[in-house]
Amino acid sequence: MSIRQLPDYPDACQWEPEGSSLRRLEEAYRFALQERSVQAASQDSRSTVDITRPPVRTIADRYPIYSSVAVDPNFDEVILQDNNLWATAVFKRTENTPTAGPVAKPQRLIQGAETEIQFNNGLYVDPKIGEIYSIESDTGDRIVVFTHDALGNVAPARFLHTPHRGYAIAADETKQEMFVSVEYPPKVMVYRKGASGEEKPLRFIEGEHTQLQAIHGVAIDTKNSLLFVNNWGNESNFRVPGTGKFHPPSITVYPLDANGDVAPVRIIQGPKTQMNWPAAMALNPENGDLYVANDVGHSILVFKSTAHGDVAPARVIKGSKTGLVNPTGVSLDLKNREFWVANLGNSTATAYSLMANGDVAPVRTIRSAPAGYKSTKFGKTEAVAYDSKREEYLVPN
C-alpha cells in the first residue's frame, strides 16, 4: 500500500465531459501499471498530470509470507510457498537458521512472470519424481506443476485450469487421482493426477447436503478410503441476498469415492475441537493421526481419524516455545519421523518430532526474516480507506 500527496492543481475542479474524465482515469491506470514515466492528458484539456510520483511512504512486507509447506524426503528438501513475493522456495531439510544469524537462503527459487506463480497457497510434491504442484487461490485459477530441478523464471512443465478460489491439494498415488479444495462456492474437485490444460474433473463433491462451508484443507486416508475436508463455517448463496450464516468450524468426512451432493459420514465440530480458521491438513497412514494447521489458534491440532462430534484433539502443539504464528501449512515426513509447519505470521517454517505434544520447541527452524519479525500478513489487498477520527487505515485483506 502506497501513500501519495495529492497535487495542488489550479484547474482541478474544472468541469469535464463525463467521457473525457473516464478516459483520463483509464489512461492513468493503464500507464501506471506499465511503470513508465508518462503524462496523461484529456483530449479537451491543455493540462498534463504526472502519474509516476513516488509515494511519500509505503506499507509493505519485504519478506516471504509462507502459506504452505511440503516435505520431499527422497531429495531431503523442504518446499515453501511464498504468496507475498510470488515464489516457491526450496531448502535443504536439515536447514536450521540460528536465532542470531542471518536469514536462510533457499538452494533453489522458482520466481518470475514465466512461472505463473501468483497468490498461490497449496503445495503437493510427487513422492517418486519430486514434481512440485502449486495451486493459485485468487487471480490465476490454475495449478502449476514444475519439475524437481526447476529454477528461476521458468515456465511450468504443465498447468491445469481450476475453479476460482482453489486452496489445497492432496493425491491418491495408487489411483493417480488429485483432490483439490475450492473455498467458494465450496466443493472438492477430483482430477486425474496428470491432468493438464482444460481437462475436466473425474467427479466433484458439491451441494447442500455436503455441509461444505468455506472449505480449506483436504487430506485422504487410502487405507480406510476416507476423505477429510475442513470448513471455516461461512455459508451463503451469493445469488440470494440474506442467506449468509456462520457455523462453527468443522471437519467433514466422506467416502474417498464420493460424488455429487453427498452427506458426510461424520463431522468433527464443537468448542472442544479448538478449531479456529483451520487451514492445511495431513494424515499419518500408519496410525491415523490427522494434523490440522490451526491458523488463528496459533496451534497444530492432532485428531484421531476416527474422531466424531465435539471431541478434543488427541494432542495439541501450542505455546510460546513452539514458534507457531498463524500456521497455515503442515506436511509429514514419515521417513525422518518429523512434521513441518509453514507459519504465515513470521516468515518461518518449523519442524517438530512426529509425536510432539504441548509447548515444545521446534527441532529446526527455517527463518526468512529477522528474528522476532511479525508479518503484515497481507494477502490480496482489494482496497484501502482512511478513518480520520482514529487516524487508521482500513485494508480489506
Does the residue 354 lie in any domain?
A: yes
Question: How does pLDDT run across 25-50, given as a tens digit for each residue?
Answer: 445 445 444 444 444 444 445 566 66
Does the residue 270 lie in any domain?
A: yes
Residues 188 and 279 in one domain: yes
Region 79-93: mean pLDDT is 96
Residues 9 and 31 in one domain: yes
Does the residue 391 lie in any domain?
A: no
Residues 222 and 359 in one domain: yes
Does the residue 279 lie in any domain?
A: yes
Cell (9 digits) for 152:
528461476
Does the residue 115 lie in any domain?
A: yes
Please provide the average confidence, as pLDDT, over all residues in the chain.
89
Residues 179 and 34 in one domain: no
Give the total number of structural domains in the chain. Answer: 2
- Predicted pLDDT at 385: 93
Does the residue 131 lie in any domain?
A: yes
| C-alpha 151 chain-centroid distance | 21
Residues 17 and 109 in one domain: no
Range of weakest confidence among 9-18, 125-134, 288-297, 342-351:
9-18
Residues 27 and 165 in one domain: no
Q: Which pTM value belongs to this model?
A: 0.85
- Predicted pLDDT at 49: 66
Asked whether 130 and 75 are in contact (CB, 8 A), the reply is yes
Region 4-19: mean pLDDT is 50
Cell (9 digits) for 288:
491415523
Does the residue 378 lie in any domain?
A: no
Q: What is d(CA 190, CA 205) in angstroms, rounded to the nearest whole number?
A: 8
pLDDT band for position 21 (50/70/90)? very low
Asked whether 89 and 64 are in contact (CB, 8 A), the reply is yes
Task: Indicate which CATH number applies to the domain containing 230.
Answer: 2.130.10.10
Share of the chain above pLDDT 70, in %: 87
Q: Which of these, 289, 367, 352, 273, lies nearest to 319 by C-alpha position?
A: 352
The last residue of one of the domains, among 58, 81, 103, is: 58
Residues 38 and 163 in one domain: no
- Predicted pLDDT at 101: 86
Residues 86 and 103 in one domain: yes
Residues 329 and 226 in one domain: yes
Cell (9 digits) for 44:
479537451
- Predicted pLDDT at 60: 84
| C-alpha 297 chain-centroid distance | 17
The last residue of one of the domains, among 12, 36, 58, is: 58
| Strand ranges across the sheet with 348-353 | 327-333, 338-343, 348-353, 364-367
- Predicted pLDDT at 135: 96
Asked whether 340 and 330 are in contact (CB, 8 A), the reply is yes
Residues 17 and 124 in one domain: no
Domain with 11, as residue range(s), is 2-58
DSSP secondary structure letters along 264-292: -SEEEESGGG--SSEEEEEE-TTT-EEEE
Backbone dihedral region for residue 222 (phi beyond 0: left; psi -120 to 50: alpha; all else: beta): alpha
Residues 200 and 317 in one domain: yes
Does the residue 253 lie in any domain?
A: yes
pLDDT exceeds 80 at position 226: yes
pLDDT exceeds 60 at position 6: no
Q: What is d(CA 316, CA 8) in angstroms, rounded to the nearest whole number?
A: 58
Residues 275 and 303 in one domain: yes
